[in-house]
Structure formats: structure tokens, C-alpha cells
């Protein structure tokens, strides 16, 4: 008699357990995929690297000798301005470097942008 009860329970319980297991498979697979999903890769370099590049290029600008060719000065200044733009976008600082051509106004805006980056916590040297 006990054997018959065990067989009856097996026939009744087994399909229920199988259905519960099969219906849980999509949730388990989704959980595994979510766990394995990688965070999206950043599209810009880390702000530490940008700050390091800014310090390096700034050091180069400051140490130019009087006989340095004008093309080299302008290229280095353009590279420095591009790095300032990247740094501003990374930390959320507004700049107006693109509003001015080469000259006194752009130099003043460059200084203002450097100060704003310092106030945002970037160490420029």
C-alpha cells in the first residue's frame, strides 16, 4: 500500500516539478546574461590621462626657446586647446575657446578655462 502511494505521488508531483523547472529556465538564463553583461566602454580617455597630457603639453609650451618655429608653436597651442576642450567636456566646464581666433582674446579665454578646470578639481601644474 505504501508503494502505491509513493507511485501516485511520483505521478502527480513529477510533472508539476518538471513544469516549474522548465518555466524557470528563461529567468535563470536572463539572470546569467545580466550578470555577464559588461559595462559599456567609455568613449573618451580617463580624466587623469587628459590632465597628464595637459600638464605635459603646457610644460612644452612654457619651455619653448625664442628661436622655436612659429608652426611648432601654433601646432602645440592647437593641441593644448584640443586637450582643454576634452578636459572641459569630461568635467562639465563651459569654455568659449572656439569663439575666438588666434590672439589676445583667445589667450585670455584659455587662462579663464584653465582656472575653471582648476576650480573643478583638475591639477594642471
What's the pLDDT tens digit per position in 75-93?
999 999 999 899 988 888 8
What pTM was estimated for this model as a whole? 0.65
Place of cell 572656439: 98
Angle in degrees, CA 77, 82, 87, rounded to 5: 120
Rg of the chain over CA atoms, in angstroms? 32
For residues 73 and 59, the answer to whether their CB atoms sit within 8 Å is: no
- Write the DSSP assignment of 31-50 as a string of letters: HHHHHHPPPPPPSS--HHHH
Contacts of residue 87, defined as CB under 8 A and 6 or more positions apart, other chains included, come to 47, 50, 51, 54, 93, 117, 122
What tens digit of pLDDT does each residue of 23-68 get? 888 888 888 888 777 767 777 788 889 899 999 999 998 898 888 8
Question: Distance between CA atoms of 107 and 63, rounded to whole angstroms?
Answer: 17
Give pLDDT, residue 56.
Answer: 93
Amino acid at each position: 500500500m505504501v508503494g502505491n502511494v509513493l507511485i501516485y505521488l511520483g505521478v502527480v508531483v513529477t510533472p508539476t516539478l518538471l513544469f516549474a523547472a522548465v518555466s524557470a529556465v528563461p529567468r535563470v538564463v536572463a539572470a546569467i546574461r545580466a550578470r555577464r553583461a559588461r559595462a559599456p566602454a567609455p568613449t573618451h580617455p580617463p580624466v587623469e590621462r587628459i590632465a597628464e597630457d595637459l600638464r605635459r603639453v603646457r610644460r612644452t609650451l612654457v619651455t619653448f626657446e625664442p628661436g622655436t618655429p612659429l608652426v611648432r608653436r601654433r601646432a602645440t597651442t592647437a593641441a593644448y586647446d584640443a586637450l582643454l576642450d576634452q578636459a572641459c567636456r569630461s568635467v562639465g566646464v563651459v569654455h568659449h575657446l572656439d569663439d575666438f581666433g588666434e590672439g589676445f582674446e583667445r589667450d585670455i579665454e584659455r587662462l579663464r578655462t584653465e582656472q575653471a578646470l582648476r576650480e573643478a578639481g583638475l591639477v594642471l601644474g
